[in-house]
Chain A
Amino acid sequence: MSSQISLNNLVEEAQRLTGSRQNEIRDSIVKSIYSTAENIAANTVSSKIERKTNWDRKIDNVLTSPVWGFPIMFGLLALVFWVTITGANIPSAMLAEGLFWIEARLTDFFLAMDAPSWLHGFLVLGVYRSLAWVVSVMLPPMAIFFPIFTLLEDLGYLPRVAFNLDRFFKKAGAHGKQALTMSMGFGCNAAGIIACRVIDSPRERLIATLTNVFVPCNGRFPTLIALATIFISGSVSLSVSSTLATLSVAGLVVLGIAITLLVSWLLSNTLLKGETSLFTLELPPYRKPQVGQVIIRSVLDRTVFVLTRAMLIAAPAGGIIWLLANTYTGDTSILSVIAGWLDPFARHMGLDGFILTAFILGLPANEIVFPILIMSYVSGSAMMEPASLAALRQLLVDGHGWTWLTALCTMIFVLCHWPCGTTLLTIQREQHKGRWTVLAAIIPTVTGILLCTFVNYLVRGLGLI
């Protein structure tokens, strides 16, 4: 124990030496370090040219200005979606055509082999077809969206977004760094939740964790984009429709941010009351992104990653859906029984039973919600399979009575519902308490149900549909 005592003695000795001048001594120590650094830098760094205009600062003054910051943010967001939506249309249609041509050949093969029809149904109409949908609906938007988003990230734009949003988070009683963790959530909510570790205060970290799921992640963006594209294009002329689709996706993202702020404010005024802490946010210098590298990495790390995950889950899910849709109890398939049971409730929210079933079955990964939905609409039904996006639209509208309101409510529910399995596991790992994980699932689900129901009754009440 002697060393502990003498360490205490040392502390006392130091206190005696500094006396009441502790703060001044601290300052003097820091000052000496700074002036040493200044001296060394002055002696070793020289600039060949006179100080150039500080471009970084000039750009920042515009990008983070109170007047221009937000319009530019929204404009960039819209531009990214517009490029994605207009660009994804044609390759999507081509992929669908190619993949369903292969499906027809597979069917021919099974017929030639004289295979039992259940085997053909399970493997081709179930597993293969859901894979084909995942690839044709999700791949093109992802292959365009992720590289652009990664370029913005590399350029250094995201911290500027955080800077712009900072004061709103402070007003909501949350930590300014939540703007950063939220931005990470656009990539992946599980990653966003891990990023919440940068927030020191447990109260603010919890707020950031519980609200992270309100921004659409990599897995949900393609669904939103696909829904907007399929539904809105075809109904009006091409240029109008792509603009509408763009605005609806960008509007949903803004809605997601607004809900994040609102729920953060509610939490910090009820369950999680407390002081807001201060922090410094450095705006990193803009860097020229390595375009080639970015494209390769974003395609490999994000597109292939998300697509693989979606395909791994979609294959068995597709098989299961086919089984559910083709196993009958009495006159109706099991899938129809489940959907029928959920239907009355779903109707209040502007959805239908199949849509809600797809969301529930999509718990392992958000990527597969839409493919599951198409599968459950198609399998077991006498309808011809939709071989193009236009036909898909027809399936939704003529076959299942979709309106723009159904599409809107589905998109809202994509934005606000329980987090995917991975995210829930991450929350549990980070917070160690079951009740926060449960709350993290309940908050967005209740928000989604309320919001969908509200929009549904509002639109119908106003006679807009």
Chain B
Amino acid sequence: MGLTYQSTGTLTTREAFNVPASDNQPVIALAGNPNTGKSTVFNALTGLRQHTGNWPGKTVLQTKGTFIHNGRKYTLVDLPGTYSLLANSIDEQVARDFICFAQPEATIVVVDATCLERNLNLALQVIEITNRVVLCVNLMDEARRKQLRIEINGLSKALGIPVVATAARSKEGLPELLDITCKVVSKQLEPNPKAVRYSPEVEEAISRLEPQIKALFGNSINPRWVALRLLDGDMNLIKNLKKYHHRERIKAAREAFA
């Protein structure tokens, strides 16, 4: 673990996000639309007991907590609730930059079982950045009340990532969520997400850019995703790529001299 931190430079990047990188405590990010019970999941996993309101925008900046599973300590970071990662707002930027640059060992995407379609947009965008994703289909109790049936296995196959059904308020499914997430962290489980297929024009452009991006950044960032952001002209990401990539280079240079 320690080796990969240093070689990818995520160490300094994590510090920029207020997550101490000194210990090799794995970091798990919690992403999701507003009002999916993300904070309830966060509280249940970390044992925090603050009241969570039914309220969009309650988690303003990411909050973090820790939990212990099978004798190992993990840091859990609650990202602000967002509908997408296209960085239209500060919240979306914070969430995206964390997943992309702080590179958590696993990301749990919490979705609302009662409006899965809208929530899947975010999940699809997260699995474009990283493969280490677990989908948490929360509010299953509400879904049952509304007589909705969700095929968890089918969902898992369609997305190519592990899916866990939960009702965080009554702690239903949370032990399983923890188990699977920790398996993703330890790489006992390596999700293989299915990429979204774009129009032939976009796919063609991606295939042109991808090799060059790979040559430039190596494996530190998903080249297909960077290609997409370059194509939709996301200047913000380009700025951050320079910033974090630059930091990494300075650090590498310092280490070379030390």
A interface residues (Cβ-Cβ under 8 A, vs B) = 3-4, 6-7, 10-11, 13-15, 17-18, 22, 25-26, 28-30, 32-34, 36-38, 40-49, 52, 150, 153-156, 158-159, 177, 180, 194-195, 197-198, 200, 281-282, 284-285, 287, 290, 293, 297-298, 301
**Which chain B residues in 85-120 approach chain A with CB under 8 Å?**
86, 89-91, 114, 116-118, 120
Chain B residues lying within 8 Å of A25, measured Cβ to Cβ, are 201-202, 205, 231-232
B interface, size bucket: 35 or more
Contact, CB under 8 Å: B148 / A158: no
Contact, CB under 8 Å: B232 / A153: no
Contact, CB under 8 Å: A45 / B89: no
Contact, CB under 8 Å: A29 / B231: yes
Chain A residues lying within 8 Å of B35, measured Cβ to Cβ, are 282, 284-285
Contact of B245 among A7, A42, A150, A301 (CB under 8 A): A7
Chain B nearest CB: distance from A122 CB in Å? 38
In the complex the two chains form, what is the Cα distance from A197 to B90 in whole Å?
Answer: 10
Contact, CB under 8 Å: A29 / B202: yes
**Chain B: interface secondary structure?**
helix
A195-B60, A282-B35 are known; give 15 further A-B pairs, CB within 8 A.
A3-B216, A4-B242, A13-B212, A28-B198, A36-B120, A41-B120, A42-B117, A44-B150, A44-B151, A47-B148, A153-B54, A180-B56, A198-B60, A200-B89, A284-B55
Chain A nearest CB: distance from B136 CB in Å? 15
Chain B nearest CB: distance from A176 CB in Å? 12
In the complex the two chains form, what is the Cα distance from A180 to B249 in whole Å?
Answer: 43
Cβ proximity bits B138-182 to A, threshold 8 Å, 1 near / 0 not: 000010001111110011001100000000010000000000000
In the complex the two chains form, what is the Cα distance from A453 to B109 in whole Å?
Answer: 56
Given contacts A22-B232, A26-B233, A197-B61, whether A153 and B53 have CB atoms under 8 Å apart is yes
Q: List 10 A-B contacts (CB under 8 A).
A: A3-B245, A6-B216, A13-B230, A33-B196, A37-B123, A44-B151, A45-B148, A48-B149, A284-B54, A301-B51
Whether B246 is near chain A, meaning CB under 8 Å from some CB there, is yes
Chain B residues lying within 8 Å of A197, measured Cβ to Cβ, are 60-61
Contact, CB under 8 Å: B117 / A37: yes
Chain B residues lying within 8 Å of A11, measured Cβ to Cβ, are 230, 238
Task: Give the top 8 A-B pairs by smallest Cβ distance, nearest first.
Answer: A41-B117, A14-B230, A37-B120, A284-B35, A26-B232, A156-B54, A48-B147, A197-B60
Looking at B124, B148, B212, B230, the one whose CB has the most chain A CB atoms below 10 A away is B230
In the complex the two chains form, what is the Cα distance from A42 to B118 in whole Å?
Answer: 12
Query: Of all chain A residues, which has the CB nearest B116?
Result: A41
Given contacts A10-B212, A194-B60, whether A32 and B238 have CB atoms under 8 Å apart is no
Chain A residues lying within 8 Å of B254, measured Cβ to Cβ, are none
In the complex the two chains form, what is the Cα distance from A49 to B123 in whole Å?
Answer: 27
Whether B6 is near chain A, meaning CB under 8 Å from some CB there, is no
**Chain A: interface secondary structure?**
helix
Contact, CB under 8 Å: A18 / B233: yes
Chain A residues lying within 8 Å of B241, measured Cβ to Cβ, are 7
In the complex the two chains form, what is the Cα distance from A155 to B231 in whole Å?
Answer: 42
In the complex the two chains form, what is the Cα distance from A200 to B57 in whole Å?
Answer: 12
Contact of A10 among B50, B89, B121, B216 (CB under 8 A): B216
Contact, CB under 8 Å: B51 / A18: no
Given contacts A17-B208, A180-B57, whether A37 and B121 have CB atoms under 8 Å apart is yes
Contact, CB under 8 Å: B53 / A33: no
Chain B nearest CB: distance from A420 CB in Å? 21
Contact, CB under 8 Å: A10 / B230: yes
Looking at B55, B90, B159, B241, the one whose CB has the most chain A CB atoms below 10 A away is B55
Given contacts A29-B232, A37-B124, whether A7 and B149 have CB atoms under 8 Å apart is no
Contact, CB under 8 Å: B147 / A47: yes
Contact, CB under 8 Å: A47 / B149: yes
Contact, CB under 8 Å: A14 / B120: no
Query: Of all chain B residues, which has the CB nearest A198?
Result: B57
Query: Of all chain A residues, which has the CB nearest B53?
Result: A153
Chain A residues lying within 8 Å of B230, measured Cβ to Cβ, are 10-11, 13-14
Contact, CB under 8 Å: A46 / B149: yes
Cβ proximity bits B184-224 to A, threshold 8 Å, 1 near / 0 not: 00000000000011110110010011001100100000000
In the complex the two chains form, what is the Cα distance from A6 to B209 in whole Å?
Answer: 12
Query: Of all chain A residues, which has the CB nearest B61?
Result: A197
Query: Of all chain B residues, which has the CB nearest A21?
Result: B201
Given contacts A17-B205, A200-B89, whether A301 and B50 have CB atoms under 8 Å apart is yes
Chain B nearest CB: distance from A19 CB in Å? 10
In the complex the two chains form, what is the Cα distance from A330 to B205 in whole Å?
Answer: 91
Contact, CB under 8 Å: B147 / A49: yes
Given contacts A37-B124, A153-B55, A284-B35, whether A28 and B199 have CB atoms under 8 Å apart is yes
Given contacts A28-B199, A30-B86, A32-B196, whether A46 and B121 have CB atoms under 8 Å apart is no
Contact, CB under 8 Å: A18 / B125: no
Contact, CB under 8 Å: B116 / A282: no
In the complex the two chains form, what is the Cα distance from A46 to B149 in whole Å?
Answer: 5
Whether B32 is near chain A, meaning CB under 8 Å from some CB there, is no
Contact, CB under 8 Å: B56 / A298: no
Whether B34 is near chain A, meaning CB under 8 Å from some CB there, is yes
Chain A residues lying within 8 Å of B56, measured Cβ to Cβ, are 159, 180, 281-282, 284
In the complex the two chains form, what is the Cα distance from A155 to B50 in whole Å?
Answer: 17
Chain B nearest CB: distance from A389 CB in Å? 31
Contact of A287 among B121, B123, B142, B155 (CB under 8 A): B142
Chain B nearest CB: distance from A299 CB in Å? 11
Chain A nearest CB: distance from B205 CB in Å? 4
Chain B residues lying within 8 Å of A34, measured Cβ to Cβ, are 121
Chain B residues lying within 8 Å of A155, measured Cβ to Cβ, are 54
